[in-house]
Structure 1
Amino acid sequence: MSQTAVSIISKFYSFVELRTDERIKSYPLMQRPIGMNLILLTYVIFSKYIGPRLMANRKPFHLNTAMIVYNLSMVLLNAFIVYEFLMAGWATTYTWKCDLVDTSTTPQAYRMIRVCYMFYMSKYFELLDTVFFVLRKKQSQITFLHVFHHSFMPWTWWWGITLTPAGGMGCFHAMVNAVVHVIMYFYYLLSASGPRFQKYLWWKKYMTAIQLIQFVIVSAHISQYYFMEKCDYQIPMYIHLIWMYGTFFFLLFSNFWIQAYIKGKRLPSVEEMPKQNGSASKPIAVLANGKHMENGNGHHHTNGNFVMSKLVMGKVKEI
């Protein structure tokens, strides 16, 4: 590595350390980006290379019990995150308009910092989604976009809470996302719990609608920034990124909805579904948080990144 490159990296790290909010520095992984980058790099390498090679000559694991525990844990964690977001500002002091990052040292500010950090850490827990795919030899579901989404989210959030840990209007999308995750993981919990729970999954189609509503709410909220006479949000770049994210994914998910439910391009029939654990059930088309998921009972859950990979090519293919 040349001396110039070393100098640039050194200056960048100095800049990050100077800009890192003092209130978040004591939290694990928040001192510098090295730990975060190593974890995510390990995740990518394991997902695409090490994991598949380890499982190449092994039978897939049957992890229904582990998946039930995991899904239940994620439901409870995200429910708690939603509650803390509300109590830290969104149901107490925030206006839902131009809410600035709180730079004070009040208990309320620290509560918002803690819940933003908790949301950030939940993105690492979600990496287990991919681990389950690897151990169950569902490598075809680990697409480039799936891995990109799961690694990019915690990477971007590290920078977000490093510079603006006490939220403001820029953390609204996190609260909405946590609400969706409560619903999503509850759905997966029921789906992984066995045939006797399938009658409670009649609302499968509406998971896509819930995602669309999420993007509408997030985009509408953040769009206020462009129509306000004055809003001194500390890092406007985050506003622009959130708006682009919400709008882009709304368009992609809307196209999937049209193709799957209006034009009638359905998923494979029951007879075409691969059987697992001796049973096959009705296919389930679900869009949620960048995962194309399939549980141990033969249900397919089609989520954001899988669908996005198809839409980027200009069409939605049948799974």
Structure 2
Amino acid sequence: MAFNTLTSRAVLLYDEWLKEADPRTGNWLLMGSPFPQTFIIAAYVFFVTTLGPRLMENRKPFQLKNTMIIYNLSIVLFSLYMIYEFLMSGWANGYTYRCDLVDYSSSPQALRMAWTCWLYYFSKFIEMLDTVFFVLRKKSSQVSFLHVYHHSIMPFTWWFGVRFAPGGLGTFHALLNCIVHVIMYSYYLLSALGPKYQKYLWWKKYMTTIQLVQFVLVTAHIGQFFFMQDCPYQFPVFLYIIGLYGLIFLLLFLHFYYHAYTRGKRLPKVLQNRNLLLKKLD
């Protein structure tokens, strides 16, 4: 009896909560409820951490060169398109980069921003293929906690963004992320093209630096809100989440940078050998 009462209250709270959602996005794919995406994310985590490695344990790695080329090129082009749409729907067309509120009207520009937010949300599911390809190619060292956490938390949190606040200052980090992805997936594209393109990959170390700059900018931009005297942003909780997200990923990427480059684990072999020699001489 007590369980039934608790369940009924939970359903009522859920219904009341959804009344605050943006009615414009309610009928879009995956937007009706957070449960379908939760199932997809759970299946992704289970596959890349448990099922996939077990299936590949006694198999040879898949050779996915052509698939990787097409995939990375597609992500670059899709990211460029989303950059354009974010700019045209607000960030280069009326936004102040300070207290930019969500426009819930049915104007063409407001709907364009909402749709771009959904496109960005959906792109996070496409990017889960990064990890799937790592598993199929038996690149287990690439399936780190940072990698899986990033690909899991982004679509989950962005469902709430698209459903409740598709626009305004809470979308600045999405614009930045699309810019970073153009650079990052261009690198992956060159890498997938083969050894003769290795000479163009000297800037790998700087990709992590670009990621760090991204999270500093995200944190600085969203941090303005907490010092504004009058900024009636409709769902401030999202700004707290974005600020926390920026700080968490800044710390995680700093940790990654330290172990990958400062300690030399991802430096070229010549530099790794030099560092080892210096340690022996100390």
User: TM-score by structure 1 length?
Assistant: 0.78
In structure 1, give the amino acid aligned to 2:168.
G
Query: In the aligned structure 1, how far is the partner of 2:85 from the partner of 2:181?
Result: 15
In structure 2, give the amino acid aligned to 1:133.
F
In structure 2, give the amino acid aligned to 1:56.
E
Q: Note the residue ranges of structure 1 that are not aligned, 5 or more in a row.
A: 273-281, 284-319
Query: In the aligned structure 2, how far is the partner of 1:119 from the partner of 1:57?
Result: 37
Partner of 2:81: 80
Q: Is the deviation greater in 80-89 or in 148-157?
A: 148-157
Partner of 1:229: 229
Query: In the aligned structure 2, how far is the partner of 1:171 from the partner of 1:154?
Result: 14
Where in structure 2 are the equivalents of 1:88-99 lying within 5 Å?
88-99=89-100
Structure with bigger RCO (C-alpha 8 Å, 6+ apart): 2
Query: In the aligned structure 1, how far is the partner of 2:17 from the partner of 2:37?
Result: 14
* Residues 1:44 and 1:190: Cα distance change in structure 2 (over 3 Å): same
Q: CA RMSD in A?
A: 2.3
Listed one character per residue, the Cα deviations across residues 34-88 of structure 1 (whole Å, up to 9, x for unaligned) are 2111211221222222222322332211111111111111001111111100000
Quote how far apart the aligned CAs of 1:151 are.
1.4
Quote how far apart the aligned CAs of 1:232 are.
0.5
User: TM-score by structure 2 length?
Assistant: 0.88
The structure with the largest helix share of the pair is: 2
Partner of 1:238: 238
Local SS of the residue matching 2:178: helix
1:265 to 263, 266, 271: 263
* Residues 1:257 and 1:147: Cα distance change in structure 2 (over 3 Å): closer
Quote how far apart the aligned CAs of 1:22 are.
0.8
* Residues 1:249 and 1:151: Cα distance change in structure 2 (over 3 Å): closer
Query: In the aligned structure 2, how far is the partner of 1:269 from the partner of 1:176?
Result: 27
Partner of 2:277: none
* Residues 1:38 and 1:108: Cα distance change in structure 2 (over 3 Å): same
Query: In the aligned structure 1, how far is the partner of 2:6 from the partner of 2:140?
Result: 37
Query: In the aligned structure 1, how far is the partner of 2:246 from the partner of 2:144?
Result: 21
Among all aligned residue pairs of Structure 1 and Structure 2, give the percentage whose two residues are the same amino acid: 53
Quote how far apart the aligned CAs of 1:171 are.
0.6
8 Å contact from structure 1 (residues 17, 32) kept in 2: no
Query: In the aligned structure 1, how far is the partner of 2:190 from the partner of 2:204?
Result: 11
In structure 2, give the amino acid aligned to 1:43.
Y
Partner of 1:189: 189
In structure 2, give the amino acid aligned to 1:266.
G
Where in structure 2 are the equivalents of 1:96-245 lying within 5 Å?
96-165=97-166, 167-245=167-245
Listed one character per residue, the Cα deviations across residues 200-226 of structure 1 (whole Å, up to 9, x for unaligned) are 112222112211221121122112112
